[in-house]
Amino acid sequence: MVEKDIKGRGIKDEKVINAMLKVKRHLFVEKKYLDKAYGDHPLPIGEGQTISQPYVVALMTEALCLRGNERVLEIGTGSGYQAAVLAEIVKEVYTIEIRKGLYEMAKERLKKLGYKNVYVKHGDGYFGWKEYSPFDAIMITASANHIPPPLLAQLKEGGRLVIPLGSTFFYQNLIVVTKQKNSFTVRELGSVLFVPMIGEASKR
């Protein structure tokens, strides 16, 4: 999977490649999808949600330009796979999941796998996790038609935020925002299809 779908499609960051090699995706999918765990496609994780396709996980992780000493916030814990990939690279990962069942499953799974630098919270990620802000990087793994302002506010100066932005019914554009002296630069990474962010994000 890593040779063909990660390196083969242009992911170059060694830290991302090593993390993708280390985290075993089959430990994050339901038993019935075990044989599909290393294919480059999303898979159901319960409650109508999906674990992202490995290439997109790598692309979003690479986009955050991580060095290793960062504190990262992830919105949409889901299976916990993306959080585990981040935890292999950075110092601390804070991740928020709005669906209780998924939150409990991911929390238990990450604990069992021995991740001591991942902190999981049940709640609406729209409002971020102020207590531990500012973050060096923020990753939103559910789609929204706008960037939640509290998340931009909790991003450090020079920090990066990646989000599938656009229609929550059709495709979105994966964008990376860099915060610089109260202005923002935006880079587009291409089309993606993510499940929608629910809660506050869907009301606006």
The amino acid that residue 175 corresponds to is: I
Taking CB under 6 A as the rule, does residue 143 contact ligand SAH? no
Stretch that binds ligand SAH, among 4-12, 58-66, 90-98, 167-175 (CB under 6 A): 90-98
Taking CB under 6 A as the rule, does residue 119 contact ligand SAH? no
Taking CB under 6 A as the rule, does residue 16 contact ligand SAH? no
Taking CB under 6 A as the rule, does residue 82 contact ligand SAH? yes
Taking CB under 6 A as the rule, does residue 27 contact ligand SAH? no
- 3-state secondary structure labels for all residues of the chain: CHHHHHHCCCCCCHHHHHHHHHCCHHHHCCHHHHHHCCCCCCEEEECCEEECCHHHHHHHHHHCCCCCCCEEEEECCCCCHHHHHHHCCCCEEEEEECCHHHHHHHHHHHHHCCCCCEEEEECCHHHCCHHHCCEEEEEECCEECCCCHHHHHCEEEEEEEEEEEECCCCCEEEEEEEEECCEEEEEEEEEECCCECCHHHHHC
Taking CB under 6 A as the rule, does residue 81 contact ligand SAH? yes
The residue from 52, 167, 191, 202 that is catalytic is 52
* Residue 96 CB, nearest approach to ligand SAH (Å): 5
Taking CB under 6 A as the rule, does residue 75 contact ligand SAH? yes
167 as an active site residue: the answer is: no
Binding test (CB under 6 A) with ligand SAH, winner from 37, 142, 161, 162: 142
Q: How many residues bind ligand SAH (CB under 6 A)?
A: 26
- Binding region for ligand SAH (CB under 6 A): 45, 49-52, 75-76, 78-79, 81-82, 96-99, 102, 124-126, 141-142, 195, 197-199, 201
- Active-site residue list: 52
